Structure 1
């Protein structure tokens, strides 16, 4: 385990703190990201974006202290970047819980002139959800907003609350659709 630099050291660029962190956590991050079946060239991009976000958070004052290790913080940023990448590549397939038949974003695209029986079922049950559930799912799946965006738009306490709300809403929709 490396001795992690302080926030002040990172902000003042003492002892090449970012470079040391970048090099020391790279192999472990790649191993972590490979569990998601991501190609190495994409992992490089995600890792670099992760460090850019980390750096920006330091410069913008979003980080004033670490409640965990810097490594944990970096990996949590990276994990969400991995999820964003997977979500973008999977054409927004909804897979929070395994079902025999998945509800896809195409099922939720309810503006078609002719809807299949399943699409009609999803549309009818979507309208049965509360207004807040409808809003969260619309923002996330139709408008492509991130959990962080939704937190800001809807004044949620934190992104974990948004994530839980989205998960509960999606679970409820799946229950309604599957009877």
Structure 2
């Protein structure tokens, strides 16, 4: 992982799934062997299970249920897959088209914001920084400036979404 963990979570929250695609490509063969040994799954079934599990992981990050990237992501994903098999969750339940479209549109608009606005919104919404801390990180003179900057950036994002 070359990107910092917080940045990875931020990118996942705004809809960028590149991290998960890379993880899938690197891990699918190992996962398939594990699934064959543990659960006697065929390779295509194991790959589908990994895909569905990664989509579940993505949904947990996107809706805020998962706020920190696990220290051992592979073990976490394998545990999720095992829970999925134990619960016999149906495979390949796609994200509703409206939600997938909304997330993609939000990511596109977020990327159109300037770097400062992206940073301010990331600090506030995804890292949970208070205005005092955000002001210090961004070099603002006080918390009021940070609050106004966040408001301005949020307004810009809202206008882009119209």
TM interval, short-chain normalised: 0.3 to 0.5
Larger radius of gyration: 1
Q: Which structure's relative contact order is higher, taking Cα pairs within 8 Å and 6+ residues apart?
A: 2
